[in-house]
Amino acid sequence: MKRLIKQYAINNMLPLLVLMVLTSGCGTTALVLKSGDTQADFSKYKSLLVRTTTEGAAAPAAAQVRIKNFVTKELVDCCVQRFSRITMDSNEPHDLVLNLKLTVYDEGNRFARFMLAGLGSMQIHAQVEVIEGESARVLTAGEAGKTFAWGGIYGAATGIEDIEKDFAKEVVKGFRESLRIEGAARSEEIGQNADQLP
């Protein structure tokens, strides 16, 4: 009888443990930019500035620079044909400003993540605004976020810079979708198209 009870407990607890591990890993708040100006013609904007600010989040200056670098790199990789100039921290006038207002920035704790999934989680969340450079008018805005809480060796080996990179990818993906920007052509496609040129 005791053996049956023990087997029953194991059979019922195993799926629960698997579910706990799977749901405590990683979370993403996909960026969906909502237009404040439905008449805005984004095709007329040719230069883009990437900027970070903080609101309630104690994001170190070095982290803000890294996030701007990751976002700028993602934008250059996908949108260099769309914008003639993509920069960060510039005093020159720009047509558009991509402003990331960091609201949550938590590096978490590697040791806690190593000990148990869900503890010591890392989080980055931001209000994202696309602002017209000349008028400072918010054209579109939304929220983006990334949370990481995997445990064990993987949790301990993953650092905040990995989460910053994933966060940057989410921001740029939402930005591209909102402005309907096609991605850069892959090098193989460029090569194939070059063969078809007269």
Read off the CATH number of the domain in which 156 is found: 3.40.50
| Whole-number CA gyration radius for the chain | 22
Domain that holds residue 41: 26-181
CA distances from 197 to 177, 191, 192, 193 (A): 30, 10, 9, 7
Q: Using one digit for the tens of pLDDT, what is the confidence trace for 27-57?
A: 666 667 776 655 667 889 999 999 998 877 6
Q: In 3-state terms, what secondary structure has residue 22?
A: helix
Q: What is the pTM of this model?
A: 0.74
Residue 7 domain flag:
no
- Span 111-133, average pLDDT: 84
Would you say 122 and 148 are in contact if contact means Cβ atoms under 8 Å apart? yes
Residue 56 domain flag:
yes
